[in-house]
Amino acid sequence: MRSPSAVRTPRTSSTAALASLSLAALGVVYGDIGTSPLYALKEVFADGRVPLTPANVLGVLSLVFWTLTVVVSLKYVVLILRADNNGEGGLIAMLALASNAVRERPALRARLLVLGIFGTAIFFGDGVITPAISVLSAVEGLEVAAPALHHYVVPLTLVVLTALFSAQRFGTAAVGRFFGPVTLAWFATMAALGLPHVLEHPRVLEALLPHHALAFLFAHPRIAFVALGAVVLCVTGAEALYADLGHFGRAPIRWAWFAVVMPALVINYFGQGALLLLHPEKVKNPFYEMAPDWALFPLIALATLATVIASQALITAGYSVAKQAIQLGYLPRLRIAHTSIRDTGQIYVPLVNWALFACVVFAVVVFGSSSALASAYGIAVTIDMTITTVMTFFVVRFAWRLPLALCLAATSVFFLVDITFFAANIVKVVEGGWFPLVIGGVMFALMVTWKQGRALMAVKLRDESIELPVFIESLFLSPPQRVAGTAVFLNSEKGATPFALLHNLKHNKVLHQQNLFVTVLQHEVPWIGFDKRVEVEALGHDCWQVALHFGFKNDPDVPDALKLLEGRGVHLEEMDTSYFLSRDTVVPTFGGGMALWREKVFASMHRNAAAAADFLNLPTNRIVELGTKIEI
């Protein structure tokens, strides 16, 4: 089952290259799912709602194993990694694929866009809870090593998180090379912790048979329903498999999963299960209870380091998702700093960083323990998993054009699993599930408001504008005085006369020798090559209408793109080129458009957006801004 239009990821040239990429993928891709054993199994039995009996332990272990197999191995590794958008993955890439596949069905496309943007908004809730629960669960090992240190768990967690978020502005290039080896050591340690307990009580291996999971589900449906709400924690971070497709390719991600990650996870979970079968009293924290006393403090240190790496992956993913949402027009421009001169994907977004940090601190202080946060965690994970499955159906059906029966067979089982896990977690809304829903709801409202507000602005500008070719012809019936150099007018609407030109003519009463009317267009594909970057149309009188095309992972660089006009009738002297922008002031009004409160929110977002000049990489010493008021 293969997309006929998918761009193949380049094959690794050697075993060494594959091993190197697989090692790198361990640190970036599997940090989150790799730290789930710290809290996943503990949360099933910790509150006593699932009785700690041998049959229940085997049933839960079987559920964990088959959840890893069905959700991660089959759904993500086998199926969804095939759904690449020009080699890129992630929910936004999947959204672009699905929306393009149903472009001829506008009503369906609109619903899919709303669904995908909601999933993107919920991702930010996941991005808040992952650092909080991961670091908390690691530091909680102190309670096992020395119960008297209980009161230091939250303060130490806050110290670790503060250091982590404060270091983001320096980028991850310096420490990134250590992520893979450290995570490999973490997976090896997890396997080493679990294996002796499995060997001591090999009966636990019976849980590999699916009938234990089925017996648990059907014999105790209410108890099993409660257990599912915690079992899903074993697959947190599965979305990272798909999101990081463009960084590593399919083969390294798959090799890392089947060769290292899944075996280590299964051995550790089964080791915890064997411990609970022999020593039920150690249910409070079976992960750390597996370790000998002398290894506890080194294990806590390694676990904390592993959770920092897991948190780092989610934080940097938050930057990338925010940038892609900006490129697609769902968030206002934000200041984006590049932290590497070689890797354009390494970015730092200060507003996103500190907003995440504030929410993470709130989560740690208010919830206070990984057990309390676990109730909030599952709902965000299951929503995104379900949305990904829905999007996958439309990709395989309408983009790959596979038969309906095959598409239903390929996705219905995954949808049933996802929706069951979601139902098991929705009952936890009061216990903490409200937290990621609030974050996701706020982000969704902001994203939809920004998108709709920009559309209202575009309509207003279109209604009040003059067609550019008509205006140029009328202008030269009585031509203004012309001055040397080139004027580049940034124009949001292709074919419309920019207000900056009208104001320049009104106040300065001159026109440059060369005039470019440039519209920057963002597309629902990750990358657009230089061969398709520029479209140019001559308007006469040394005037040109230019369209610059960028994908949602391209960095919009207008001066660099305009260099591609050389040899196409346009010659630009860098120091003789000026850039004219219109700085719009949005004025909310009653009637039409959006609700007044949303218009005020949009006006505030528009006012506080990063400067267009910075976002488009315009030279600061050659910019002219002219103001315009727009009522929506």
Read off the pLDDT of residues 497-513 as tens digits, 9 standing for 90 and up. 998 898 888 888 899 99
Query: How many other C-beta atoms can be found within 10 angstroms of the C-beta atom of residue 161?
Result: 24
Task: Report d(CA 42, CA 370) in Å as an integer.
Answer: 10
pLDDT tens by residue, 352-384: 999 999 999 999 999 988 888 887 888 888 998
Residue 391 · residue 101 · CB < 8 Å: no
Highest mean pLDDT among 130-134, 184-188, 530-534: 184-188
Q: Write down the pTM of the prediction.
A: 0.84
- Burial profile 390-401: b = 16 or more Cβ within 10 angstroms, e = fewer: bbbbbbbbbbbe
Residues 6+ apart with CB under 8 A from 581: 490, 500, 612, 613, 618, 623, 624, 625, 626
Mean per-residue pLDDT for 221-233? 91
Backbone torsion region of residue 540, taken as left when φ is above 0, otherwise alpha when ψ lies between -120 and 50, otherwise beta: left
d(CA 273, CA 204): 7
Q: What is the number of other CB atoms lying within 10 angstroms of the CB of residue 585?
A: 12
> Could you give the CA distance from residue 124 to residue 137 in angstroms, rounded to a whole number?
20
Q: Domains (ranges, CATH) in the chain?
A: 23-435 (1.20.1740.10), 465-631 (no CATH)
Q: What is the pLDDT of residue 177?
A: 67
Count Cβ neighbours within 10 Å for each residue of 179-210 and write b for 16 or more, e otherwise: bbebbbebbebbbbbbbebbeebeebbebeee
Nearest to 607 by CA among 590, 575, 630: 630
The four Cα atoms 38, 42, 43, 48 give a dihedral, to 10 degrees, of: -170
The string of pLDDT tens digits covering residues 96-131 is 888 888 888 989 998 998 998 999 898 888 888 889
Total Cβ atoms within 10 A of residue 1: 11
Between 263 and 110, name the one with better pLDDT: 263
Vertex 233, ends 148 and 260: CA angle to 5°? 95
- Residues 624/579, Cβ–Cβ less than 8 Å: yes
pLDDT above 60 for 286: yes
Residue (of 625, 619, 581, 571) closest to 489 by Cα position: 581
Measure the CA–CA gap between 103 and 451, rounded to whole angstroms: 18
